[in-house]
Amino acid sequence: MEVVKILLYVVEIVVCLLLGLVVMIQKPKEGGLGGAFGGGALEGALGADAGNVLIKATAILGTIFLINTLALAKITSTPSVTDGVAAPVAAPQTEQAPVEPVQPAK
């Protein structure tokens, strides 16, 4: 089980770094960081559909990140303090004799 945890942590770190990189190199309307990473070179390498490729990559990496995070949360969660503890049983009710009204002294 430890090997699975370590593998999931490695995948989480790699996906986080790739997701951050893919999001940063996307070309917004104003230019942004896409131009700093060579926006023209990216379109030259990936063609005119570079934006579509980056959007698909973002969606795929985001899905992998979400599923991996949920798996890590499930695997690494510790049991609750109240797991396995039975609910308290109510004490049995006993019938009480009816109370007779006290007559005032004359």
Residue pLDDT, tens place only, 41-52: 555 555 555 567
Residues of the chain with pLDDT below 50 are: none
In a domain, 56, yes or no: yes
pLDDT value, residue 100: 78
pLDDT value, residue 28: 65
Taking the C-alpha atoms of residue 68 and residue 70, their distance in angstroms, rounded to an integer, is 5
Q: Which residues contact 53 (CB under 8 A, 6 or more apart)?
A: 46
Q: pTM for this one? A: 0.57
In a domain, 3, yes or no: no
Q: How far is CA 46 from CA 28, 31, 53, 56, 84, in A?
A: 17, 18, 8, 13, 56
Structural domain boundaries, residue 37: 19-75
In a domain, 32, yes or no: yes
In a domain, 62, yes or no: yes
In a domain, 102, yes or no: no
CB 97 within 8 A of CB 54: no
In a domain, 89, yes or no: no
In a domain, 86, yes or no: no
